[in-house]
A and B are shown apart, each in its own frame.
Chain A
Amino acid sequence: MLRASVSDSKPNQRELADAIRLAVLIENLVDAFVSSNLSGLKQARKAVLSEYGWAYLVDICAVVGAFEMMTRLADATGAKLRQEQLEAAIPIRSELGLDKFTSARLW
């Protein structure tokens, strides 16, 4: 889904700067959430709240919820990328080790 939705993305400088600024906080929050690290999650929320405020935390957690849904949707229905998408993703697949996932449906 991610690749499908951003395959033509050309982020501008403001978006890149914002993404980089928030990336560590997001990483901490998502990792704590996925690993059920409740104290880490509490700290991660606090960090987002203090730097960005409640409305940002709501928006971030909303996207977390959306992808809790979409990852399960993709994996429960056997969603596959098209061949051209798989080929376009070869560099990132290799770099991140994605082909080792059980969910890697490579045709």
Chain B
Amino acid sequence: MDGVAQQSLMRDDLVVAHAEVWERVTNSGTYWNGAQRRAIAIVVLSSLGDDIKLPPWTSNVRSEKIFLDAEVLNDDTIDAIYRISVNASTLTEDWYRRIIARGLHPLAFVELVGVVVAVSGVHGFYQSIGIQLPPIPDSKMGELCVGGPSVEAANLNWVLVAVPADSNAAVVQALSAVPAAWDLVSQILASHYIPVKEMGNLNWNRGRLTRVQMETIASRLSEARECFY
């Protein structure tokens, strides 16, 4: 069966979700415009497809890795995207504080993380199943969607979160300072794993994998990625 035939057998909700994710990634967000968000996605995909991945203590910019279509991003941003994409389990609070001290707005970082992880999730699906990733569309012109909730420092995350901090689990509040970023991630969670509102329902499934089987995949991958959380 070729890739096109396989794709035609894909669950409709996945096809729709991936198209919507690509659409949202290429539109203006809260702190990054459509061209910048598209460039973030391109750097993520280039990083994940990098045959010789750099160790976490190395700057990909200093190593002169070239990312096409990324000229709208500065070197620090490209470095951060590469590090989150390729070596996320090695990130530390010191690393985060340095990124912010070098000029990246704390909430722009939150939005950046949202785009990076969403693209990583879609890439992970296509890479693991062996079908070519749908191409990322061109970016759209548009105004930044300014505004958002009041934010504060949290104990459960190093990023700023919406008030009141620490009233939700750390991964749920992680992107709450930029609601559109969490919406993007929630959309992928709903189509790939479990809708957020069903997380507490341990019998929820799509009729094939049981919840236990889903958690087996999740725990094995999390352990292999050395994600303590």
Residues of A bordering B, CB below 8 Å: 1-2, 4-6, 8-11, 14-16, 18-19, 22-23, 26-27, 29-31, 33-35, 41-42, 45, 54-82, 96, 98-99, 101-105
Contact = CB atoms under 8 A, between A and B. Distances in A.
B9 A67 contact: no
Contact of A64 (B14, B128, B226): B128
A76 to B, nearest CB: 5
Interface residues of B, number: 73
24 contacts: A2-B219, A5-B194, A18-B212, A19-B210, A19-B213, A26-B217, A33-B124, A34-B221, A55-B9, A58-B129, A62-B125, A63-B214, A66-B193, A68-B121, A72-B116, A74-B227, A75-B88, A76-B117, A78-B91, A78-B158, A79-B171, A80-B156, A103-B227, A105-B228
The DSSP consensus for interface residues of chain B is: helix
Contacts, number: 244
B121 A22 contact: no
A69 B126 CA distance: 13
A69 B96 contact: no
Contact of A9 (B96, B120, B202, B225): B202
A10 B212 CA distance: 10
Contacts of B25: none
Interface string B42-66: 0000000000000000000000000
A98 B223 CA distance: 8
B107 interface: no
Given A58-B10, A75-B91, 13 more contacts: A2-B218, A6-B202, A15-B212, A19-B212, A26-B217, A42-B130, A59-B11, A64-B221, A70-B222, A71-B225, A77-B175, A102-B89, A103-B89
